[in-house]
Chains A and B, each alone.
Chain A
Amino acid sequence: MGLNEQQVERYSRQIILEEVGGKGQGKLLSSKVLIVGAGGLGAPAALYLAAAGVGTIGVVDDDQVDLSNLQRQIIHTTADVDVDKVTSAKTKMEAINPDVTVQTYKMRLTAENISEIIRRYDFVIDGTDNFTSKFLINDACYFEKIPFSHAGILRFYGQLITVVPGQSTCYRCVFRSPPPVGVVPSCSQAGVLGALAGVIGSLQATEALKYLLGVGQLLTGILLTYDALEMDFRAVKLQRNPDCPLCGGKPQITELRDEEQPVCDLKRD
């Protein structure tokens, strides 16, 4: 893909990187990334991927912007309260970079609809806050063979892992199934530092860009954990699990299903 004069200037700081170059920039412009959840993780990821010139970015979210989101979901502004998150996100992403086509999906992903959506993309970013969605994304990406970045955040802690299905450790290799309801607190119950969401969401965007460019070492087989209070990053090596119910030797999960395990019992009015 040839770059015009404006594009050469816009992307000059990354084109100058040996690992990117004009060729890499062309790759990014013809790449497609899906961001599931336009929240604390999805917001920084969407902004950075749009700024970097990822040509097509899908954003999935069924929610509207709430005042309590703005402490961390930096793609939304005060004027966006009550606006659909996908609409609010699309406006900012296109304002940053008109090169980018933003496709919005105002819906919740389910076992019924997820496959046909994710198969339109090269890479998926899981920025959801609930375990039903996280396991669904893991399973669907496995069946469709689409690499993805998984992340979770809570209080001052965050973690992420990149999964290349069939090749690297998947979410179910580590966590077999969703935790019982109420065992793991949600951010709305336990709180979360906004800047922490920014760190982890930016790391997810970094993984997406590296994957699209084919450079560096992905966080495959490694869970990167971040403790913001101690300012401690740890890379925990995780081997593939031969007993994994999804990608192990004798898989028990052979088709998609919705596992009903809501993240918390606090329902917002």
Chain B
Amino acid sequence: MKLVVNGNELDCSDGLTVNDLLTEQNVKMPEMVSVELNGEILKRGEFDTTTLKEDDKVEFLYFMGGGDGFK
């Protein structure tokens, strides 16, 4: 099936969960991302139970600190 992940089209096997996709995309720690599926933010507990469908739009949103204003 075809998914759009962070704006890029991706061919994936059917029945993939969000967690599977995270693993496939090499996101080693799911704690470091928030996931938006078709415009809605998923709860962390739903990563495992949400199965992706053809044409789903997925955004992995990463925590980013930076700035270095404070140590």
By a beta-carbon cutoff of 8 Å, the part of chain A in contact with chain B is 36-42, 60-63, 69, 72-73, 85, 108, 126-131, 133-134, 151-154, 157-159, 173-176, 179-180, 183-184, 186-188, 192, 197, 223, 234, 236-239, 241, 243, 263, 267-268
Contact = CB atoms under 8 A, between A and B. Distances in A.
Interface string B19-40: 0000000000101101010011
A41 B67 CA distance: 5
A151 B67 contact: yes
Contacts of A152: 63-67
Contacts, number: 126
Contacts of A234: 6-7
Nearest to A192: B66
A186 B36 CA distance: 24
29 contacts: A40-B69, A61-B70, A62-B70, A63-B71, A72-B68, A126-B67, A128-B67, A128-B70, A129-B69, A152-B63, A153-B64, A154-B64, A157-B62, A158-B64, A175-B61, A176-B34, A179-B32, A183-B29, A184-B63, A186-B65, A187-B66, A197-B66, A197-B67, A236-B36, A236-B59, A237-B39, A238-B41, A239-B40, A241-B40
Contacts of B7: 234
Contact of B68 (A108, A183, A187, A267): A187
Interface centre among B29, B39, B41, by most chain A C-beta atoms within 10 angstroms, is B41
Contacts of A42: 67, 69
Most B C-beta atoms less than 10 A away, residue of A197, A243, A263? A263
A128 B31 contact: no
Contacts of B31: 179-180, 183
B29 A131 contact: no
A174 B64 contact: no
Kindly name the residue among A126, A129, A159 whose own CB sees the greatest number of chain B CB atoms within 10 A. Answer: A129
A246 to B, nearest CB: 13
A148 to B, nearest CB: 13
A34 to B, nearest CB: 12
Contact of B69 (A63, A157, A180, A238): A63
Nearest to A41: B67
Nearest to A150: B64
Nearest to B71: A268
Contacts of A41: 66-67, 69
A93 to B, nearest CB: 15
Contacts of A131: 63, 65
B69 A36 contact: yes
Contacts of B41: 173-174, 238-239, 241, 243
B64 to A, nearest CB: 3
B65 A184 contact: yes
